[in-house]
Chain A
Amino acid sequence: DQQVKQNSPSLSVQEGRISILNCDYTNSMFDYFLWYKKYPAEGPTFLISISSIKDKNEDGRFTVFLNKSAKHLSLHIVPSQPGDSAVYFCAATTGNQFYFGTGTSLTVIP
């Protein structure tokens, strides 16, 4: 059973606008949440993370929001750039294990 879910397989956004990627989870024991970016033919690369005791973490154009009561995580990219076009994976950890979502393919249109 998928403990981390990304319900939108794809998202298209105009360059310069905000991209919002969403993620839901079921396990209340998750202690860290992460976002990874993946280009074709490459391994995922780390983008940003957040501890379960926080509700927001910001790093440049990327902000992650955590809503524990709703078991919901989102990644905001502002402003979106064509180079942001990739597949984004949400992930969560409990103990020493990682659980990933199915990914959202983001296309930023110039």
Chain B
Amino acid sequence: EAQVTQNPRYLITVTGKKLTVTCSQNMNHEYMSWYRQDPGLGLRQIYYSMNVEVTDKGDVPEGYKVSRKEKRNFPLILESPSPNQTSLYFCASSLTLPPSSYNEQFFGPGTRLTVL
């Protein structure tokens, strides 16, 4: 089954404790992206990757890191999480760009992160 998986789905942590949220897709997609969803702000793009070893900042990259060593994986790293990073995070992938009905962006189920 074609899908984007994220782990963990739920995480409660404390300020300053490094964490990684994994994202994996099995569709051989080139484009991968991370978003955060907050009430009243919608989804905001954190980082994206056009292909292996090619990553770039989205709209809200501060406090996050990513890596793309393999095509299928795109982990999101919070080196020193803070309470303002409490949010719902989504990973997404598409074959390439631009987006269309033939090239849609598939989203993972989300990771709910709470930083105390």
Interface residues of A, Cβ cutoff 8 Å to B: 2, 4, 6, 31-32, 34, 41-46, 48-49, 51, 59, 89, 91, 93, 96-103
Contacts and interface: CB of A to CB of B under 8 A. Distances in A.
B74 interface: no
Contacts, number: 70
> SS class of chain A's interface: helix, strand, loop or mixed?
strand
Contacts of B43: 44, 89, 91, 100
B42 A43 contact: no
B59 interface: yes
Given A43-B90, A96-B56, A32 B107 contact: no
Contact of B104 (A2, A46, A51, A98): A46
Interface residues of B, number: 29
Contacts of B106: 43, 46
Given A98-B45, A100-B43, A102-B42, A49 B101 contact: yes
Interface in B85-116: 90, 92, 97-101, 104-110
Contacts of B98: 31-32, 51, 93
B107 A45 contact: yes
B101 A46 contact: yes
**Do most interface residues of chain B lie in helix, strand or loop, or is the interface mixed?**
strand
B4 interface: yes
A91 B35 CA distance: 13
Contacts of B101: 46, 48-49, 59
Which one of B43, B50, B59, B100 has the highest number of Cβ atoms from chain A below 10 Å of its Cβ?
Answer: B43
Contact of A43 (B48, B97, B99, B108): B108
A43 B3 CA distance: 11
30 contacts: A2-B41, A4-B42, A32-B99, A34-B99, A41-B109, A42-B109, A43-B108, A44-B43, A44-B90, A44-B107, A45-B107, A46-B101, A46-B105, A48-B101, A49-B99, A49-B104, A59-B101, A91-B43, A93-B97, A93-B98, A93-B99, A97-B45, A97-B58, A97-B59, A98-B33, A98-B35, A102-B40, A102-B41, A102-B42, A103-B42
